[in-house]
Amino acid sequence: MAAAIPSPVSVDALRARAAADPKAAIKEAAKQFEALFMQEIMKSMRQATLASGMLDNAGTQLGTEMLDTHFATQMTGQRGGLGEVIARQLERQMGVSAVSGAATQRPAQAAFSQTNGSARQIDFLQANQQAARAAEADTGIPAAFMLAQAAHETGWGQREIRQADGSSANNLFGIKAGSGWKGAVAEVTTTEFVDGQPRKLTQRFRAYASAAESFRDYARLMKENGRYSQVLASGGSADRFAQGLQAAGYATDPAYADKLGRVINTTLRLQRVVT
């Protein structure tokens, strides 16, 4: 019995493998490219051969094509073959280490790794630091403090507030939509502390067109609401900033200031290597 022809790995499967093991995904992709190339060679050779026409029909043509695919598959993946050349080229283009198989880290990522940071934290800070600096210019609150608060509220971007259609509300600070809010709204179930006890409640949150708009609205809230005068006066003190937010009732969590203070310290340490 002829060996079964292995089916090619789907694009989605290759993408999933690339996230976990880039080198293995590159090797598989290179092997498939090589198989396609060899199959085209077999096809060209068949076309260059004069057929008798006596036994040619749709069935024999299909059988020939399957046989060519089988031979092409069997000839791929050999040491020193075309697949290795393709794989090396892909590795260079994607920055994958030939030794470890891991993607080569950007300078900032490598520095973060040395300070117990993660790629997720890098991406979050780099994506939002420009908006945070603009908010700092408006409020005087250090950008690192606001980045830390956004990181705390969203779990470094993992716990986004989402609208009914699943799209992001871009609300990085968990700002609720009160009666005076005229913009878009996202209703979600969240944990609130009532008399010191956590409760699941459905709340209305403001929705923005972008994360940068969220930072701008946060800056307006800090400047225009007198409750946050202590926050604006915190200067460069992380403790005063966190305590000022809790004293103003920004969050119902009684441990909010302590939790935020820890994230601020982490952000200040890691931000030194983010460019």
Q: Is 235 left (phi over 0), alpha (psi -120 to 50) or beta?
A: left
Amino acid at 103: A
User: What's the structural domain count of the chain?
Assistant: 2
Residue 188 lies in a domain: yes
**19 vs 141: which has the higher pLDDT:** 141
pLDDT of res. 101? 46
Among 210, 231, 228, smallest CA distance to 167 is for 210
**Exactly one of 40, 56, 192, 239 is catalytic; which is it?**
192
Q: Check residue 103 and give its pLDDT.
A: 47
pLDDT at 97 over 60: no
Would 3 be classed as within a structural domain?
no
Domain end marker among 104, 122, 153: 104
> Per residue in 123-179, pLDDT tens?
899 999 999 999 999 999 999 999 999 999 999 999 999 999 999 999 999 999 988
Provide the domain limits for residue 172.
108-271
- Per-residue pLDDT at 94: 54
For β-strands 185-194 and 197-206, DSSP reports them as antiparallel
User: 85-89, 92-96, 98-102: which has the minimum mean pLDDT?
Assistant: 98-102
Structure tokens of 132? 């945070």
Q: Is 249 found in the same domain as 143?
A: yes
pLDDT at 188 over 50: yes
Q: What is the CATH number of the domain that holds 233?
A: 1.10.530.10
Q: How many CA atoms lie within 13 A of 118 on its CB side?
A: 8
153 is known as an active-site residue: no
pLDDT at 99 over 50: no
Q: Is 192 a catalytic residue?
A: yes
pTM passes above 0.75: no
Q: Are residues 136 and 94 in the same domain?
A: no
Question: Which one of 104, 130, 159 terminates a domain?
Answer: 104
pLDDT tens profile 30-88: 777 777 776 677 677 666 665 555 556 666 666 666 766 766 666 676 666 676 777 77
Domain boundary among 49, 74, 104: 104
Quick check: is 231 in a domain? yes
Percent of residues, the chain, with pLDDT higher than 90? 44
Q: Do 197 and 125 touch, CB atoms closer than 8 A?
A: no
217, 224, 239, 253: the catalytic one is: 217
Residues 126 and 219 grouped into a single domain: yes
